[in-house]
Structure 1
């Protein structure tokens, strides 16, 4: 009987020791994740100094103000800055708990701010990099562009692989560069996701179909990256982000967005711009009517709480 009581007394001590070890292990894991994250963010962080801008007062994320992000998908080449073949503007509103994701066709004809020319909007990056791209998009949409994210599209496949692949709902049966994509829900690894996002000429919708697939992939990467199941792959995810993404978002701003704006990611509305294709001096352009431009501008302003 005495021996039995001693064993019973030992169990609370053993359970307490196990619990303590779990806490220590959890703290060590948390520190490891935090260390990997800060290191990746330091590599990604590329602040810019813009003299122009439509934001009349400083944005305060801690006060849950709406903000916008310009996503530039760039095919980087050695010795060449390349062009931003993918241009997507995210307008995030925490009050309505929603995001509007607008694709800007790369052939859109507009004024290139700071260059003194009217050209395809994706040429802004080739002429003046991030700053000129942000200024040109601000002028085109008549809204402030607060942040940018430049993604190396060739390396984007590493990000898709790091989150364990993605599943998208494909609305067009097609084959591209030796890979067949069935209609319906399909699972893509990084290599297939890159090809899925690049196909253009076999799609009867042309660039609009490609934009749709690009938005699908970005949205699914965000969803997968935010899921608990991907925590085991945090090292690969942070490494892939550090190598292939550049942004002016600082670490503390990322933390505030994660804490205060997370609910907005649950509702993402995708917007497109209607254009009419034409040739000017033998060069193809997408022409946006004044009515269409005004409609898009107003939708984005409403999302950002601009009157």
Structure 2
């Protein structure tokens, strides 16, 4: 499904149903320069709200924040990749387009009253010279095949600007914690120490440890220090998570993005039931194929 916000439109929403999707693609179409990192702080001017609905009633808020926070989720620890992809305009259908994908990490089978409500605001984009230019925002769901294995929840949490040290209880079902610098790409690596404690994991990392995970990559680059960075990236869900985060100095407009994958009994039971049904369908399809083509047992033995 697709919706288009013309330059004159400031807000629009769509209700997505009768399809399977695993994310949303945001396409910025404008006359802005072919390469422009200056649109990153400008992304905070664009707001997005995505919510689950059942029979028209809202059940879960998947995301409620800005495009800069979506950028942080997609490009944490990976500024060189962002520089080669998102910040390089594509010529698509004769239009200069910047593409920002937002993956849920799971599939939504939107039928039987299940829907996604997607609302966006549209603004002008800022070019390298600081000039604002008109922007057409094209919002598209990303088609997929598969089952819903968890409820994805993305939370943005502002850090107190007068504090150097933060003690945060982040709760349950946490998989990722991403630090977003004040302007989205601060040039100074300002995390001094990180300590987290949970039901499964207890670690303390120095600034050296954290910086090592940024530079020990396929394409080491000093610019990694200024990207959104993973403070935590766990394959296993962490519960009762407490994070102690120290900075070199106090500073306003720091944010954390907390990514949760919530597995409720309802979601798990439906996932198991659907998997079993699909396995049975696949088995019947295989048997049907063997019947049509003849048994392959003799061929396999010879």
Q: What TM-score results when the alignment is normalised by the length of structure 1?
A: 0.29
Q: Which has the higher helix share?
A: 1
Q: Which has the higher strand share?
A: 2
